[in-house]
Amino acid sequence: MYSGGYVSGTIRDMDSTISTREFFSEKVFTVSEYIDFLNNVLAATPVLVTGEVGAKMSLYPRFGYFSLLDSDQQALLDCFAWRNSIDGLGTQLEEGMQVKVFGYPSIYKPKGTFNFHVQRIELIGEGGLKKQFELLKQKLKDEGLFDAKNKQEIIDLPTRIGLITSARARGAKKDFLTNLISRRLKVEFYDVRVEGDQAISDICNAIKWFNEHTPHPDVLVVTRGGGSWESLQAFNSEQMARAIFASKIPIVVGVGHEDDETIADFVCDFRASTPTDAAKVLSKSWGNMPYILDQYSLSFGANITLLLQSLKQQLTVYAQTWENNMVVRIEKIKVKISNYESVLKLSDPFTRVRQGYALLRGASGSLVTSVSHMHPQDNISIQVSDGTIESSVTRVVKEVLQK
């Protein structure tokens, strides 16, 4: 299929009357160009291959080589894989293992040798799958992907749900939608494959899409019906586990029947036993709405009463505090006034007069404070405690008083 696309894409720039065969019969490749051409064609045809791991194996820190054999050992396929694909198996690759590899054929240009470029390795057979499951489960648990502290809360009364499942798996989709109690819920459906090798990338891409597009749903639901260990393998992949863990949107997983258990169940924010259970979990808060409203009504009235009582107490305390502060302030003012009265009394000239002193005034009535203001024959009045003496100046003598 890819070669046809490649040819048609090339011929568009040429005379449309030239046939594909004529084009290739006239095209002269260099060796390097031809191998590149073949690798482009081969890379577009990824496939699954099953077989037994052979004795021919060379594993290095960054990559590795191994061979796959048919059970009758009548055919051998040389394989190349980067180390992350080998480590993704979850256990050490060993001779005699029955595995399934996903990848594409390629030609190593410097030597012209043919091998199979492996992108993913899986054990096959129920025993092998269970072993791989336990190894990956322990690995992710040790990394903290299952810890309760990393779980996101599923909000009450969700209004937007992102549903990730297959349109062809009608049972799971129908069970989920028909068991949603509230019709206020808006469900955004993303069609994916839920079985086979493409299921992993489909579901991971769906999770990524919902996280990157706004408005975000309140919750994502990943679901499918039950099946065998092999049919549920997509939900036991490390790639999907990490996609679920990385999601900023809480994820509910409802896969299979009640007794089915997948890696996705452990890493998700809430595990529902079935698609129906997932719908009931998200509908529960809507079903409890009348009770919740009653509780809110009762608690609102009680809270208002408590608030008013608290305000009353605060006002009482405030008023008492204000009164006490005012009494203290008034007492301080009284003390200050008393002090000011004492000072004023001491500086009152009439107080001095009553003590035996006299006030001398000139003809204008102003107090005389210096002999320079007086001259002989000036009229003066002398005020004492019980009256005034009128007189005149006969002589002025200037004299400086000693302190």
Residue partners of 74: CB distance under 8 A and separation at least 6 = none
Q: What is the dihedral of CA 77, 83, 84, 89, to 10 degrees?
A: 60
Question: Are residues 24 and 105 both part of a single domain?
Answer: yes
The pLDDT assigned to 11 comes to 32
Q: How far apart, in whole angstroms, are the C-alpha atoms of residue 304 and residue 288?
A: 24
Is 248 a member of any domain? yes
* Residue whose token pair is 């608290």: 310
Using a cut of 0.75, tell me whether the model's pTM lies above it: no
Identify the domain containing residue 13 by its residue range: 2-141
Question: Helix, strand, or coil here: 358?
Answer: coil
CA angle (8, 11, 14) in 5-degree steps: 160
The pLDDT profile of the chain, 403 residues, written as one tens digit per residue, is: 223 332 333 333 444 444 556 656 677 899 999 999 999 999 988 999 999 999 889 999 999 999 999 877 789 999 999 999 998 887 888 888 889 999 999 999 999 999 999 999 988 877 778 888 888 999 999 999 999 999 999 998 899 999 999 998 778 899 999 888 766 789 999 999 998 778 999 999 999 999 999 899 999 999 998 888 878 888 998 999 999 999 999 999 999 777 778 999 999 999 999 999 999 998 887 766 666 666 666 667 677 877 778 888 888 878 788 878 888 888 888 888 877 777 766 666 667 666 667 777 877 778 877 777 788 888 888 777 788 888 888 888 877 666 5
Is 136 a member of any domain? yes
Question: Are residues 11 and 85 both part of a single domain?
Answer: yes
Question: Are residues 76 and 161 both part of a single domain?
Answer: no
Question: Are residues 256 and 210 both part of a single domain?
Answer: yes
The pLDDT assigned to 20 comes to 54
Is 333 a member of any domain? no
Question: Are residues 279 and 356 both part of a single domain?
Answer: no
The pLDDT assigned to 24 comes to 64
Question: Are residues 134 and 9 both part of a single domain?
Answer: yes
Question: Are residues 118 and 69 both part of a single domain?
Answer: yes
Q: Which of 389, 383, 394, 376 is nearest to 360 (CA)?
A: 383
Is 334 a member of any domain? no
Question: Are residues 128 and 211 both part of a single domain?
Answer: no
Residue partners of 265: CB distance under 8 A and separation at least 6 = 235, 253, 255, 271
Question: Are residues 151 and 126 both part of a single domain?
Answer: no
Q: 266 with 255: CB under 8 angstroms?
A: no
Question: Are residues 14 and 119 both part of a single domain?
Answer: yes
Question: Are residues 171 and 92 both part of a single domain?
Answer: no
> How many domains does one find in the chain?
3
Look up the CATH number of the domain holding residue 75: 2.40.50.140
Residue 399 CB neighbours (<10 A): 6
The pLDDT assigned to 367 comes to 80
Residue partners of 23: CB distance under 8 A and separation at least 6 = 7, 10, 11, 14
H-type alpha helices, 146-274: 170-178, 197-212, 238-246, 263-267
Look up the CATH number of the domain holding residue 253: 3.40.50.261
Residue partners of 271: CB distance under 8 A and separation at least 6 = 252, 253, 254, 265
Is 232 a member of any domain? yes
Is 305 a member of any domain? no
SS (H, E, C) 85-99: HHHCCCCCCCCCCEE
DSSP string, 43-107: HT--EEEEEEEEEEEEE-SSEEEEEEE-TTS--EEEEEEEHHHHHTTSS---TT-EEEEEEEEEE
The pLDDT assigned to 390 comes to 82
Is 173 a member of any domain? yes
Is 321 a member of any domain? no
Question: Are residues 105 and 219 both part of a single domain?
Answer: no
Q: 114 with 78: CB under 8 angstroms?
A: yes
Domain limit, last residue, from 245, 262, 287:
287
The pLDDT assigned to 113 comes to 92
Q: How far apart, in whole angstroms, are the C-alpha atoms of residue 380 and residue 56?
A: 142
